[in-house]
Structure 1
């Protein structure tokens, strides 16, 4: 009886915690149980990132069954690879917004937090213009430069143009969620992705395959559906940001450029943007190398494997995001020791999650990939890629938490240096050596990824324990 009562009590506590995390209540994360704080933030952040990964999987599923499936899958994958540069800018600026907003919230200065968030919006949208316009104009040339054949590039041009034309929605979705996470309200960030995905899931089959008076747009329909979905998510974010009910309150007047605030944000954001651009460009080079050595089928298989990997990895990134909020708010409150312990607790949770995912992907890769492609060659390459990439999952989990801890403290320079050395001075040369010199082709690229990521995670943990991030001022 006593054991049954304890189980019931544990379930009740978990239900209460789950309900509180999903409701998006204003909570002080600078005191109380660290494990509870991590879970309150991690649950909605994991669900948010899972929803972000669903975008790519939904597109992959429907376009993978089109007549020109290898062209379609390759186009979706290569476009996403190029857009990772834009994602890098969005993530880098949102990291600066998260760090600054979290620090101000920890200091109990919510007005300054709101002003900082709006200045980050100005910075991000200004940069976005510089990438969106040329991306739209030179879509075909970009696909060819990424290793796509002429026929495949022409086929995928409308898709890429629509995706580049909608980058403002992508940018705002990332950035505004960074503001909510910095304030500790990860539930709103999660719900915005739920709304975006709901529209995408409903519209994808309708616009790709057509129904009744709605024509079949094919691959282009996937881009239209994704754009509408993300735009609806942004509208939900803006409503919650300006309705005056959240911990961080903003007004339209905060959108007036404040050069001092912009300079302060740029100081944190610039290395953060560079940090993710370095990583993104590395993935682009790897995608090009796979396309060069594996042709269209090899490229499609690799891109399919990456979509599956990211579906499982993004929730881990969401969980690790709890470290950024907890580090920022606790440093703002002067609780340095609590900030450090929060990171270690988050890392333990992430290791457990990634170990479970590693087992699942190793066992189910073969059957899983048949849901996303009906091409045997693409399937076999994707399965091989998934199994090799999954071998480094546990180290990926630790590395993600370390990156978020540094960024949450405003120390965006440290992970930038780790990425520069790990990706550009090690991963890319190693991949080229394995793929071309040792003639392993795409297999060489697959091997290079977990090897490099493992080394980078170990280096990041060593740098975290040295504690330089504790002294950064934001």
Structure 2
């Protein structure tokens, strides 16, 4: 097993995602002192911002796997050109994000069925988070480039620095510490803005200055039809895939919101804890994209398949260990977030339900990462749309509104969905005809997966 090669890429990614996860956890704990309403506002906003990120995440995912393929085939000149086109696309995306944040934040909270108190207190917080997302969109593309060339340390370092800044300013601006004004929840939002743009600016320095000598990263990208079509179409598919899942989670949150502030706060706390399980899943999924994509670029599809499998095995071990720790220490962990007895008791139950079921979420990430590495983006979009909207959303509605199973029923429906999509993507990975795979950039009109093995 190529465990050293896999871990060399995965561990910095785990540290990068851990920095983001830990920051979210620490910030939620600090903001939690403001009360259940503040926790609920952060929770609802996180779901909204995840949807916004998902909508444009396809740009970064596309850069990630295309650059990995170009790096493997030693054609980085085209990889740089495609990255430049992707950055132009980010400018358009961010104009939309900023306008929506400035003029539609209150309306979005209203559509979600939020209480009057949540809308009143949360509108400014949400608006600032939209502005922060502009930095995140650029960062995700730049980090996708770094990971595509096998550099997972730069995203780690920039993420750690930016998230440390975020923690400090949350402490300083929320409660008026270290000589800063006391701004409450709005201060916490500005802390996120500062942190996200710190990460972006550091990443931009590395890309445009530190890597220019090696790759010519400051070369103006010539917008050609073939590459522009490829970037736009792949970004649209991968973005729609993420967005379909995130919108389903949005609807899921609406169902939970209707159960009351305590249920919503418990849901947010539980999701925050479970994000420690999502962390290695994302990291190993990204590693699968890198290794599979680079081997496809080298013209060695069987090695790519093997690397995807070995990455999934190592990632599963990490997830099972984390699940065990979450199950055993659920009560102690939740105690760090809240002393509200209703929120505490429900959140503990949600954690213990999902501690081991998150393995299926991990399987989705591992094998979806591998499929992105070969450019099998159409399947990922189709399975996401089908299972999100024809299975997950109806099941969540029935559990909450028909059988009245409340939060427990909502989470059971969530993990039924995660299990189904994880297994489906894993099966697809092993049914691909790997010997028939072509580089995505060889044609903007043909799938890189000529066929899948028949059942």
Question: TM bucket by the smaller chain?
Answer: over 0.9
Which residues of 2 match residues 384-463 of structure 1 at below 5 A? 384-463=349-428
Question: In structure 1, which of residues 186, 195, 203 is the aligned counterpart of residue 169 of structure 2?
Answer: 203
Are residues 410 and 247 of structure 1, via their aligned partners in 2, closer, same or farther at CA, if it must alter by over 3 Å?
farther
Q: Is residue 2 of structure 2 the alignment partner of residue 44 of structure 1?
A: no
Instruction: Tell me the equivalent position of 1:164.
Output: 130
Instruction: Tell me the equivalent position of 1:358.
Output: 323
Instruction: Tell me the equivalent position of 2:203.
Output: 237
Q: Deviations over 1:115-154 (max 9, x none)?
A: 1112111112312322331233121221222232011111
The worse-fitting range, judged by mean Cα deviation, of 380-389 and 191-200 is 380-389
Instruction: Tell me the equivalent position of 2:297.
Output: 332
Following superposition, the deviation at residue 158 of structure 1 comes to 1.1
**Take 2:262 and 2:172, find their aligned partners in 1: how far apart are those partners?**
27
Q: Is residue 62 of structure 2 the alignment partner of residue 96 of structure 1?
A: yes
Following superposition, the deviation at residue 351 of structure 1 comes to 0.9
**Take 1:312 and 1:193, find their aligned partners in 2: how far apart are those partners?**
18
Does the Cα contact within 8 Å between 1:434 and 1:444 map onto a contact in 2? yes
Does the Cα contact within 8 Å between 1:86 and 1:128 map onto a contact in 2? no
Does the Cα contact within 8 Å between 1:389 and 1:449 map onto a contact in 2? no
User: Cα RMSD (Å) of the superposition?
Assistant: 1.7
Are residues 452 and 378 of structure 1, via their aligned partners in 2, closer, same or farther at CA, if it must alter by over 3 Å?
same
Does the Cα contact within 8 Å between 1:93 and 1:273 map onto a contact in 2? yes
Q: Deviations over 1:362-404 (max 9, x none)?
A: 1111111111123222222221222222231222222111111
**Take 1:402 and 1:173, find their aligned partners in 2: how far apart are those partners?**
24
Following superposition, the deviation at residue 229 of structure 1 comes to 1.1
Runs of at least 5 residues in structure 1 that lack an aligned partner in the other structure: 1-32
**Take 1:443 and 1:248, find their aligned partners in 2: how far apart are those partners?**
53
Does the Cα contact within 8 Å between 1:139 and 1:161 map onto a contact in 2? yes
Does the Cα contact within 8 Å between 2:61 and 2:238 map onto a contact in 1? yes
Following superposition, the deviation at residue 255 of structure 1 comes to 4.5
Secondary structure, aligned partner of 2:114: coil
**Take 1:361 and 1:121, find their aligned partners in 2: how far apart are those partners?**
39
Does the Cα contact within 8 Å between 2:172 and 2:178 map onto a contact in 1? no
Q: Is residue 281 of structure 2 the alignment partner of residue 313 of structure 1?
A: no
Which residues of 2 match residues 237-316 of structure 1 at below 5 A? 237-245=203-211, 249-255=215-221, 257-292=223-258, 294-316=259-281
Following superposition, the deviation at residue 305 of structure 1 comes to 0.8
**Take 2:32 and 2:16, find their aligned partners in 1: how far apart are those partners?**
25
Secondary structure, aligned partner of 1:166: helix
Q: Is residue 149 of structure 2 the alignment partner of residue 186 of structure 1?
A: no
**Take 1:89 and 1:228, find their aligned partners in 2: how far apart are those partners?**
22
Secondary structure, aligned partner of 2:357: helix
Secondary structure, aligned partner of 1:372: coil
Following superposition, the deviation at residue 62 of structure 1 comes to 0.8
**Take 1:52 and 1:259, find their aligned partners in 2: how far apart are those partners?**
37
Does the Cα contact within 8 Å between 1:388 and 1:450 map onto a contact in 2? no
Does the Cα contact within 8 Å between 2:174 and 2:184 map onto a contact in 1? yes
Does the Cα contact within 8 Å between 2:114 and 2:257 map onto a contact in 1? yes
Are residues 248 and 120 of structure 1, via their aligned partners in 2, closer, same or farther at CA, if it must alter by over 3 Å?
farther
Aligned length: 439
Question: In structure 1, which of residues 58, 64, 68 is the aligned counterpart of residue 32 of structure 2?
Answer: 64
Report the TM-score when normalising by structure 1. Answer: 0.89
**Take 1:166 and 1:257, find their aligned partners in 2: how far apart are those partners?**
28
Question: In structure 2, which of residues 98, 101, 116 is the aligned counterpart of residue 150 of structure 1?
Answer: 116
**Take 1:212 and 1:57, find their aligned partners in 2: how far apart are those partners?**
21
**Take 2:339 and 2:87, find their aligned partners in 1: how far apart are those partners?**
42
